[in-house]
């Protein structure tokens, strides 16, 4: 990663920025999905509630998740002001300001590759595919810092099932928007644009893999990946691609942006693993944003339920 050294600034270094926009009620799609189930109508045929899905709009009707951590949550101001989002800047304090005028709507997501139902979906139709859940996840960045965030979304498997992948589809690739006019970081070749990430199909189908569109009870702010990102809590943060415009199903293992930039440092799997050091620093410990002392990093970031996905694999080779 084009990162000079593990960054572990205490949260007191984080400059709070006043990024709060108008807060308006966002009527989530749970009711619509429920109505579709009862009436047997397709989701598109059910009358839609008025959506005001703008940054910081409140999301009602959140379901609790059994996957949620009970750990202390990282303050919102830290999670929304200390971001890795290279499309805007390589400086973690800059995306919050630089993404202020980014337009996450209208927005379509292309679903293609090895699926029966190739389609272009409006992002708000995706938001209505399942009831939104709050999932409080630990999130570990490869650089050595971590956060605990109440993300909002539903399992990525909900979308994948609806696309009906073909038997040959073994991987899923996620692509971020390429729009250098809106994303000033893309005017500089720090990464090969657009940003791409990939998961093996069974990883993508694991219930923990989250298709995410909100956090802290609200629609995602732009710097955290609006309008749609993934959040994969047992992998280093860079696997969690933001601002997704394309989801493609493939037979071969897709490359990801960090692998393309430094394949000796970043592999495809990128599971959180305290036993495999990054070539330039140890991964044994991490620092929660806002805390002073480091804590041990846990295998799979503590999400032991995914261990079975990797049984029989050498995780030192498949880092």
Interaction site with ligand MTE (CB under 6 A): 83-87, 141, 176, 195, 224-225, 237-238, 240-243
By C-alpha distance, which of 132, 156, 110, 120 is closest to 60? 132
Rounded distance, CA 39 to CA 16, Å? 47
User: What are φ and ψ of residue 197, in 5° steps?
Assistant: -140, 165
State the minimum distance, in angstroms, from the CB of residue 241 to ligand MTE.
5
Nearer to ligand MTE, 158 or 179 (CB): 179
How long is the chain? 319
Nearer to ligand MTE, 37 or 262 (CB): 262
DSSP 159-205: HHHHH-B-TT--EEEEEE---TTT-GGGGSTTS-SSPEEEEEHHHHH
Nearer to ligand MTE, 164 or 277 (CB): 277
CA atoms within 13 A on the CB side of 241: 24
State the minimum distance, in angstroms, from the CB of residue 120 to ligand MTE.
20
Residue nearest to ligand MTE (CB): 237
Rounded distance, CA 125 to CA 43, Å? 8
State the minimum distance, in angstroms, from the CB of residue 287 to ligand MTE.
14
Nearer to ligand MTE, 26 or 85 (CB): 85
Nearer to ligand MTE, 49 or 274 (CB): 274
State the minimum distance, in angstroms, from the CB of residue 191 to ligand MTE.
7
State the minimum distance, in angstroms, from the CB of residue 165 to ligand MTE.
23
């Amino acid at each position: 990663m084009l990162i000079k050294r593990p960054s572990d600034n205490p949260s007191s270094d984080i400059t709070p920025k006043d990024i709060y926009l108008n807060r308006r009620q966002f009527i989530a799609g749970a009711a619509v999905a429920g109505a579709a189930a009862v009436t047997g109508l397709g989701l598109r045929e059910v009358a839609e509630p008025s959506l005001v899905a703008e940054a910081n709009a409140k999301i009602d009707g959140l379901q609790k998740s059994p996957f949620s951590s009970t750990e202390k949550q990282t303050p919102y101001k830290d999670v929304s002001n200390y971001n890795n989002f290279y499309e805007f800047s390589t400086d973690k304090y800059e995306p919050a300001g630089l993404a202020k005028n980014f337009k996450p709507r209208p927005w379509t997501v292309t679903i293609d590759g090895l699926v029966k139902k190739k389609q272009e979906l409006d992002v708000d139709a995706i938001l209505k595919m399942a009831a939104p859940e709050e999932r409080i996840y630990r999130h570990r960045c490869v650089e050595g810092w971590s956060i605990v965030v109440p993300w909002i979304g539903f399992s990525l498997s909900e979308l994948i099932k609806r696309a009906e992948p073909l038997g040959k589809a073994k991987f899923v690739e996620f692509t971020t928007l390429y729009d250098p006019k809106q994303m000033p970081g893309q005017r500089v070749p720090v990464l090969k644009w657009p940003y791409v990430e990939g998961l093996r199909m069974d990883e993508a189908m694991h219930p923990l893999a989250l298709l995410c569109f909100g956090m802290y009870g609200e629609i995602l702010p732009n710097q955290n990946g609006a309008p749609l990102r993934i959040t994969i809590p047992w992998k280093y943060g860079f696997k969690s691609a933001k601002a997704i415009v394309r989801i493609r199903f493939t037979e071969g293992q897709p490359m990801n942006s960090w692998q393309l930039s430094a394949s000796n440092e970043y592999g495809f799997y990128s599971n959180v693993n305290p036993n495999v050091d990054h070539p330039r620093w140890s991964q044994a410990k991490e620092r929660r944003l806002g805390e002073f002392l480091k804590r041990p990093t846990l295998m799979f970031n503590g999400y032991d339920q995914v261990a079975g996905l990797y049984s029989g694999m050498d995780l030192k080779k498949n880092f």
